[in-house]
Amino acid sequence: MKTAVIIMFTLINLPYAQDALEPVISKETIAFHHGKHLQTYVDNLNKLIISSEYESMALEDIVKKAPAGAVFNNAGQILNHELYFLQFNAPDKAKKEPTGALAEQIKAQWGSIDAFKAEFEAKGTGLFGSGWVWLSKDADGKLIITQEFGASNPVAKGLKPLLTFDVWEHAYYLDYQNRRAAHISELWQIVDWRVIEMRYEQQ
């Protein structure tokens, strides 16, 4: 007899205080975004996967295997937000520029870190509606910027996600209202490139 391991997903703890990302992201936005929006995706997924083929599956595997629909959307949003929240640190603590192998690869492909940031910002600003802009690594170690709509994540395309900006309005509306581009350009102040470099070096 096979004993099924049932996985209950839980809300990740933030590795910083709710007000640590100010003035780039307010305490109020973090409280809603992490405590309400992400919590809701976690609660929804736990209800949806009971007695389904997904109930003993790891989060990434659910995102890779689930067809378009509620399971994919809620699992995707949990994975997206975990990668998003864990890449940040307080403005005075974040490592603000990449170094080492990742920086060399960015320069090889874009010419400079600033040129990379400009394309990343443009793809985030230009994404129509709700979604995410991502930097990922492909199977050959090359970097790629993609726009993902709704809840999608690059793992669904076989890519390794490294860095992401959430461009759903709930990510910035309390602080920046309709000024998505202004929000995006401020986010570089809190991206901790130590985290992105670590993801890049992992398989």
Contact residues: Mn ion, CB under 5 A:
166, 168, 171
Number of H helices, E strands in the chain: 9, 3
Q: Would you call the peptide bond into 67 cis, given omega within 30 degrees of 0 as the criterion? A: no
Nearest to 170 by CA among 131, 133, 120: 131
d(CA 56, CA 194): 32
Task: Please give the structure tokens belonging to residue 82.
Answer: 């975990």
What does DSSP assign to residue 37? I
Nearer to Mn ion (CB atom), residue 120 or residue 200: 120
Beta-strand relationship, 143-149 and 160-166 = unpaired
Nearest approach, Cβ of 171 to Mn ion (angstroms)? 5
Nearest approach, Cβ of 198 to Mn ion (angstroms)? 22
Task: Please give the structure tokens belonging to residue 132.
Answer: 């995410």
Nearer to Mn ion (CB atom), residue 48 or residue 171: 171
Nearest approach, Cβ of 97 to Mn ion (angstroms)? 25
Nearer to Mn ion (CB atom), residue 24 or residue 171: 171
Nearer to Mn ion (CB atom), residue 42 or residue 171: 171
Nearest approach, Cβ of 31 to Mn ion (angstroms)? 13
